[in-house]
Structure 1
Amino acid sequence: MRRWGWLLCCWLLAGCVALSAGGKPERPHEAAVKQTEAKPLPKDIHLVALGDSLTEGVGDGERKGGYVGRLVPLLAAEDGVRTVTVTNAGKRGRRITELEPVIRAHQAELERAHIVMITIGGNDVMNVVRAHFFDLSYERFANESQRFAERLDHLLMLLRTINPDAVVVLIGLYNPFSATLPNIPEIDDVIAEWNRTSQAVVSRYPRTIFVDIQDMFANRDDLLHRDEFHPNAEGYAQMAVRVYESLDARKEWWAN
Structure 2
Amino acid sequence: MKRWGWLIAVGLFLAGCTAFSTGGKPERPHEAAVTPSEAKPLPKDIHLVALGDSLTEGVGDGEGKGGYVGRLVPLLAAEDRVRTVTVANFGKRGRRLAELEPVVAAHQGEIGRADLILLTIGGNDVMNVVRSHFFDLSYERFAKESKAFADRLDHLLISLRIANPDAVIVLVGLYNPFSTTLPNIPEIDDVIADWNKTSAAVLSRYDRTIFVDIQDIFADRDELLHRDEFHPNAAGYEQIAVRVYYALNERKAWWVN
Instruction: State how far apart, in whole Å, the 2-side matches of 1:123 and 1:254 are.
Output: 30
Partner of 1:239: 240
| Deviation of the 1:248 alpha carbon | 0.8
Residues 191-220 of structure 1 show CA distances to partners (whole Å, capped at 9, x for unaligned) of 000000000000000001000000111010
Partner of 1:97: 98
Partner of 2:216: 215
Partner of 1:75: 76
Partner of 2:109: 108
Which of the two has higher C-alpha Rg?
A: 2
Partner of 2:200: 199
Partner of 1:60: 61
Partner of 1:227: 228
Partner of 1:51: 52
CA distance 1:15–1:112, shift in 2 (3 Å): same
Q: Compute the TM-score of the two structures, normalised by the length of structure 2.
A: 0.89
Does 2:173 match 1:169? no
Instruction: Give the percent of matched residue pairs that are identical in Structure 1 and Structure 2.
Output: 74
| Deviation of the 1:41 alpha carbon | 1.0
3-state SS of the aligned residue for 2:153?
helix
- Greater shift after overlay, 122-131 or 31-40? 31-40
Instruction: State how far apart, in whole Å, the 1-side matches of 2:200 and 2:43 are.
Output: 32
Residues 6-53 of structure 1 show CA distances to partners (whole Å, capped at 9, x for unaligned) of x959x859958x889xxx9869xxx88747961111111000000000
Tell me how large the CA RMSD over aligned residues is.
2.8
CA distance 1:227–1:32, shift in 2 (3 Å): farther
| Deviation of the 1:246 alpha carbon | 0.5
- Structure 2's unaligned 5+ residue stretches are none
Q: Which amino acid aligns with 1:103?
A: V
Instruction: State how far apart, in whole Å, the 1-side matches of 2:186 and 2:48 are.
Output: 38
Q: Which amino acid aligns with 2:150?
A: A
Instruction: State how far apart, in whole Å, the 2-side matches of 1:157 and 1:232 are.
Output: 32
Residues 97-118 of structure 1 show CA distances to partners (whole Å, capped at 9, x for unaligned) of 1000001111100000000000
Partner of 2:256: 255
Instruction: State how far apart, in whole Å, the 2-side matches of 1:214 and 1:155 are.
Output: 23
Partner of 2:146: 145
Partner of 1:183: 184
- Structure 1's unaligned 5+ residue stretches are none
3-state SS of the aligned residue for 1:228?
coil
| Deviation of the 1:80 alpha carbon | 1.5
CA distance 1:185–1:36, shift in 2 (3 Å): same
Partner of 2:41: 40
3-state SS of the aligned residue for 1:254?
helix
Partner of 2:159: 158
Matches of residues 113-152 of structure 1 in structure 2 within 5 Å?
Answer: 113-152=114-153
3-state SS of the aligned residue for 1:64?
coil
| Deviation of the 1:143 alpha carbon | 0.3
Q: Compute the TM-score of the two structures, normalised by the length of structure 1.
A: 0.89
Instruction: State how far apart, in whole Å, the 2-side matches of 1:50 and 1:244 are.
Output: 17
